[in-house]
Amino acid sequence: MSNRFMMVLVALIVGLGLVFVFTKQKANAPNNSSSPVASSAQLSNHVMGANKKKVTLLEYGDFQCSACGAFYPIVKSVVTKHKDEIAFQFRNYPIVQIHKNGFAASRAAEAASIQNKFWEMYDLLYEQQTTWSDSSNAMTYFESYAQQLNLDMAKFKSDYASSAVNDVINADKAAGDKAGVNSTPTFLLNDKKVDKNPTSEADFDKLITDAIANSK
């Protein structure tokens, strides 16, 4: 066997080895895509209430959505009234096609969540919705809210811009799509979509009261 043939054979083996290593590294590389397809492990987990009656009210909401803002005090009142009996859960569903700051607001809420201040930021975002909603620089407002909540500002800004926060929001959105959500707010009561949202606090309270009465 000639030396030249041996050199070609060795070069071929080395080349194939490099292709294998590159392919394996590419397959194992982290995916930084903002695609809405994400694993269930990345879903947010914002839940309040003792849930003694095993009734869960889940809202898919957009912080910039005016209808969500209108429902906010109703939901807050009903959830407060039944806080021992039910669980209330919120998931992000920003509709970016019509709400330019909706995704950014979800980022602010999720960044606050990392410092255990989700519900406090949730309250501020809805209570101050008309202030930041149409802003060309909504982040200035979000930073102000973070300061009000005494958050570590360097961490808040870093988390706000992180791919991890982005993935949580996209995972929530994907779960909403799977559940048939196409507008906000959309409510699910014990995993069943509420086809027609209650139009008043009394109607909303009755929806919850009936669910509690029917719970096992």
Specify the pTM.
0.81
Instruction: Give the whole-number percent of the chain exceeding pLDDT 90.
Output: 79
Tokens of 120: 């406090």
Q: Where are the beta strands (DSSP E) in 46-85?
A: 46-48, 55-61
CATH code: domain 40-213 is 3.40.30.10
- Write down the domain spans for the chain: 40-213
Q: Which residues contact 128 (CB under 8 A, 6 or more apart)?
A: 141, 145
More confident residue, 74 or 38: 74
User: Is 24 in contact with 185 (CB distance < 8 Å)?
Assistant: no
Q: What pLDDT, on the 0 to 100 scale, is given for residue 54?
A: 97
For tokens 């982040």, what's the residue? 139
Tokens of 148: 């009000």
Which tens digit of pLDDT belongs to each residue from 147-205? 999 999 999 999 999 999 999 999 999 999 999 999 999 999 999 999 999 989 999 99
Mean pLDDT, range 83-112, rounded to an integer:
98
Q: What is the DSSP letter of 193?
A: E
User: Is 201 in contact with 74 (CB distance < 8 Å)?
Assistant: yes
Task: Say if residue 205 is exposed, middle or buried (CB neighbours under 10 Å; 0-12, 13-18, 19+).
Answer: middle
Q: What pLDDT, on the 0 to 100 scale, is given for residue 32?
A: 33
Q: Which helix (H) or strand (E) holds 90?
A: strand 86-92
Q: What pLDDT, on the 0 to 100 scale, is given for residue 21?
A: 34
Sorting pLDDT into bands at 50, 70 and 90, what band is 41? low
Which tens digit of pLDDT belongs to each residue from 119-156? 999 999 999 999 999 999 999 999 999 999 999 999 99
